[in-house]
Structure 1
Amino acid sequence: MTASHSIAQNTPAVTPWIDDYAMERVSYQVARLSRSLDLREHDEEDVRQELIAELCSAELRFDPSLASRKTFICRVLTRASAYIARSIRSRRQGYGRPMVSLSALQAARAEQLHASQRDDPAQGVPLSIDLERGLGRLDADQRKLAEDLKTQTPREIAAEAGVHRSTVYRAIAGIREEMSGLGLGAAG
């Protein structure tokens, strides 16, 4: 038995709500997290305090008509310990890495694409010729839809036209079919 485990067993009840049973369940969750996450003694004490604080705040939510007090305590502690474990794991995985937003990644990808086209302007020419040829094979409604898709989502187009989204998606599938005949299908 570790020193922190024996301390927890000797800790008296904090409030009438946090009695010996609650402290026993807190100790169990701390020991479980300590084993699975290889926590140091001071981290164990932090986890213990977080669990007790969560139990104290959960006391107001307890409704004896829904569950027994012991069941409620177990569920609160299980849920809180799962949250704590996720937090600890994400902190450990994130150390040393700068946070990068998705929009920054998308902007960097777009910049790379534009830079490669600036370096070799002729690179995009064959594709644009194929697209022009493909657009020429579409009927007027399909061309309008292709034009609208540059600035709107299928949901927005459907709302504007007063049709169901599935109708728009079927029309998009028709455009894809026409384009795939030119070898312009989705890359796999």
Structure 2
Amino acid sequence: MTVRTTYFGGLNSSFEPADGDAVFGVVRYPQDFVERITDRNIPAVAPPEELLNAYKTVEEAADENNEPNPAAIAWESVDFERRYREHLERAGPQEVIGELADRARERDIWLVCWEKDARWCHRRLLANAVAAQLEDVEVVHHPDPSTIPIDEADDDPDSDDDPEATLADFAGPEAGGA
């Protein structure tokens, strides 16, 4: 059995769920198409509104400042991982995680949201929470986070940076890797 994660932009274009897989949106604010391309959306396991708003505010500010990885800056600045894990410990999300684990015992499941890079996304943490309740489960992120290049915001021509480098080349598990 496999718990897979991806983002809406990759679903059905780059990463196609198999027939029989269960596909769940895990977003706070779904758009109309979410209900059409998923089996259902489950906002109970989306980030709480105040955490999501704090993350987006910092991410937008970092982007406006041309920072190389606004999502990583926001993730660390708002202590996203700790706060989201605390959210998942609440009764409602725990019930949903149990239901997702039950589904994953029967078939592969997909957890889908907006963020392309799972390193800076709640679905990575959610997938791990579901997998923790299962035996012999694999968690697979689409795209593989180690293949996503670092955002190039440094236009310094004298820079020695490798343009093909990815965040995995520089960051260890302590930086939020999967």
Question: How would you bin the TM-score normalised by the shorter chain?
Answer: under 0.3
| Bigger Rg, which one | 1
TM-score with structure 1 length normalisation? Answer: 0.23
TM-score with structure 2 length normalisation? Answer: 0.24
- Structure with more of its chain in helix, by fraction: 1
- Structure with more of its chain in strand, by fraction: 2
